[in-house]
Every structure is written in structure tokens, then in C-alpha cells.
């Protein structure tokens, strides 16, 4: 057992992590838990195939089925393509499934993170702070609130990106995901000592999110051509209007808000104007235009 700070040791390799979790899984009848647990990895693989990420599908590190979702590590070289186009393709795959499914709808939260993790082909690979934080982001209040607020007919996926992923990959312009498609939030988990700056991305916003100013994509993600390994596909779709926001916990909106809006989550309603957010249990902070450097 290593003794902290007693000596120096090699840093484990950096691994990107992707985790997904099904909304309302525990509310399903027990007889549906097994089928849904087996279905989610199949939908993930289908989306990876359609996004042109064949090598990632076949090179996952320390994959695990969590019952109501999956998590796996991968070489960070694939990370730009996971952000774009994969997340959008996954949203479309889920939508196609939900429109024809006779069973429960599959709506997912996703978290993306990166950090040093052991990966030596030994038991315990993939365990570390980066893995813990990936699951905390997945369970955080903002991503849960945004998925709950959206229409189940249109919005099938809500993703949360760690600050490290956002700064290195999105602001670094290594991905086709534009920064203006992301909304800054404070990721906290009820009952846990966890609070991190993170970024929400909703491929297909709907309901109050659209009425408040978020614009949906003009074309579905399955219109994106297969992605070559050497360069990201910038894809197509409506660019946001250049606004970014800093919010506290809960839902966050971006775009042109020309009048008052109402956001309703379970047992909670918030009102705000086009410039400032009201305080509340889940949402707080200021909306800022063309300012990505604030802390």
C-alpha cells in the first residue's frame, strides 16, 4: 500500500472517462431492470458506430455496467470526437429508440472527465479521483435538473463536462463542439462534499429551454459524416448567439431571452428576466454576454 508523500512514483496515464446514467431507472418495475441494463450498452455501441468511432468502441478501458448505466475509460486522443459528434449522435439514437419503443423510454445523463488513472491490466484499474469525480458530475444537481425540465419527447440526453475537459478540448478548439453551446454551472451533489465548476451541453433542448432562448440543432447528428481519426468533423447546425452564463446550481439557459421566462422543476419554480437570474434553491448567478473568462 503506497504511503502518501513518502516518496515519488510514476504518474498513471491520463485517461478520458465517459459515464452515462438512465433517468428514473429505480422507478422501473424490477422485471425491467435487467433488460434496460443490457439495452444501454447496446445503444451506446450503436451511437459509437454511427459517429465513426469504431476504434473507441473496440478499445474501451476498464468498462463497467453500473446497472442503470455504463462507464469506461479511453485514450484522450478520442475525446474531441466524443464531445462532437458522438454526444449528438447518442441523443439521436436514443430518440429513434424512444419513438418506436414499447417499453420504458431511455433518457440519459452523461458526464465526461479526464485525469490520471491506473491502467495496467490489473484489478483496480480505473479507480481514482478522476473516476470518483466523473460519477459525482453525473449525479450533480444541474444535469439532473436540466433533463427533468426538458421534454421527454425531444430531449433524450443531457451532458456535463468537467472544467478540465472544457478548457483543454472545447476552448482549445480541438472539437467541433462550439463553446457557445455550453453553459457554465456549479456542480454539487446533495449529501456529498463535492462542488466543481462544470459545463452543460444539451444536444436537443426543448420545452422551457427553447422558449427561453436555446436554439435546437438545425440538422440531426446522424447527418454528420463518419469522423476520420486524424481530424474532428465540425459538423453543422445553428450556432448560438454568443452568450455564456455563470449560474449556481440547477438549470441554466443560454441564448437570446427577450422576455420573462419560467422554469419549473419538481416542486420548484423560478422566474427571471433576460439579464439576471433570481436567487433560489437550485439556480443563482448572472447571465453574461461574450465573456468566457469570468470565474
Instruction: List, for residues 205-259, the tens digit of each pLDDT value.
Output: 987 776 654 555 554 444 443 433 443 333 333 333 333 444 444 444 443 333 3
Region of residue 195 (left: phi > 0; alpha: psi -120 to 50; beta: else) = beta
User: For the chain, what is the total number of helices (H) and then of strands (E)?
Assistant: 8, 11
Other CB atoms within 10 A of residue 286 CB: 12
Residue ranges of domains in the chain, CATH in brackets: 14-289 (3.30.70.1230)
pLDDT of residue 223: 41
Rounded distance between C-alpha atoms, residue 54 and residue 52, angstroms: 6
Inter-CA distances, 238 with 180, 235, 243, Å? 11, 10, 14
Cβ–Cβ under 8 Å, residues 209 and 202: yes
Residue 230, pLDDT score: 41
DSSP 230: T
1: confidence class by pLDDT, cuts 50, 70, 90: confident
- pLDDT tier at 174 (50, 70, 90 boundaries)? very high
Kindly give the interhelix angle for 30-50 and 87-100, rounded to the nearest 10 degrees.
130
User: C-alpha cell of 21?
Assistant: 446514467
Q: Which of 14-18, 275-279, 288-292 has the highest average model confidence (pLDDT)?
A: 14-18
- Predicted local confidence at residue 175, as pLDDT: 98
Q: Which residues contact 75 (CB under 8 A, 6 or more apart)?
A: 15, 16, 59, 61
Query: Which has the closest alpha carbon to 19: 76, 65, 78?
Result: 65
Q: What element of type H or E holds 150?
A: none
Residue 193 bridge partners (DSSP): none
Rounded Cα–Cα distance for residues 206 and 283 (Å):
19
Instruction: Please say whether the beta carbons of 271 and 261 come within 8 A.
Output: yes
Report the predicted TM-score, pTM, of the whole model to 2 decimal places: 0.74
- The cell for 267 is 416542486
**How buried is residue 266: exposed, middle or buried, by Cβ count under 10 Å (0-12/13-18/19+)?**
exposed
CB hemisphere CA count around 284 (13 angstroms): 8
* Start-to-end C-alpha separation, the chain: 38
Instruction: Average the pLDDT over 122-130 and give the result.
Output: 94
Between vectors from CA 149 to CA 260 and to CA 210, what angle results, nearest 5°?
50
DSSP reduced 3-state for 144:
helix
pLDDT digits (tens, 9 = 90+) for 34-90: 999 999 999 999 999 999 999 999 999 999 999 999 999 999 999 999 999 999 999
pLDDT over 50 at 267, yes or no: no
Amino acid at each position: 500500500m503506497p504511503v502518501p508523500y513518502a516518496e515519488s512514483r510514476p504518474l498513471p496515464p491520463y485517461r478520458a472517462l465517459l459515464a452515462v446514467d438512465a433517468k428514473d431507472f429505480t422507478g422501473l418495475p424490477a422485471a425491467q431492470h435487467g433488460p434496460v441494463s443490457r439495452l444501454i450498452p447496446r445503444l451506446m455501441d450503436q451511437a459509437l458506430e454511427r459517429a465513426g468511432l469504431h476504434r473507441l468502441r473496440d478499445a474501451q478501458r476498464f468498462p463497467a455496467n453500473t446497472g442503470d448505466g455504463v462507464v469506461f475509460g479511453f485514450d484522450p486522443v478520442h475525446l474531441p470526437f466524443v464531445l462532437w459528434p458522438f454526444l449528438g449522435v447518442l441523443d439521436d439514437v436514443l430518440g429513434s429508440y424512444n419513438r418506436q419503443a414499447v417499453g420504458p423510454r431511455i433518457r440519459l445523463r452523461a458526464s465526461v472527465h479526464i485525469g490520471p488513472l491506473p491502467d495496467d491490466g490489473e484489478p483496480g484499474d480505473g479507480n481514482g479521483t478522476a473516476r470518483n469525480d466523473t460519477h459525482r458530475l453525473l449525479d450533480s444537481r444541474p444535469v439532473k435538473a436540466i433533463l427533468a425540465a426538458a421534454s421527454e419527447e425531444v430531449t433524450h440526453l443531457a451532458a456535463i463536462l468537467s472544467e478540465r475537459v472544457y478548457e483543454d478540448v472545447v476552448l482549445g478548439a480541438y472539437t467541433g463542439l462550439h463553446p457557445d453551446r455550453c453553459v457554465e454551472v456549479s456542480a454539487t451533489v446533495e449529501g456529498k462534499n463535492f462542488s466543481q465548476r462544470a459545463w452543460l451541453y444539451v444536444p436537443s433542448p426543448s420545452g422551457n429551454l427553447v422558449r427561453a432562448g436555446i436554439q435546437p440543432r438545425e440538422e440531426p447528428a446522424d447527418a454528420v459524416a463518419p469522423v476520420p481519426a486524424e481530424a474532428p468533423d465540425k459538423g453543422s447546425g445553428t450556432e448560438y448567439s454568443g452568450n455564456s452564463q455563470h449560474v449556481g446550481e440547477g438549470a441554466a439557459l443560454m441564448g437570446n431571452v427577450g422576455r420573462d421566462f419560467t422554469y419549473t422543476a419538481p416542486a420548484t419554480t423560478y422566474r427571471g428576466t433576460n439579464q439576471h437570474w433570481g436567487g433560489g434553491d437550485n439556480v443563482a448567478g448572472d447571465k453574461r454576454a461574450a465573456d468566457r473568462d469570468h470565474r
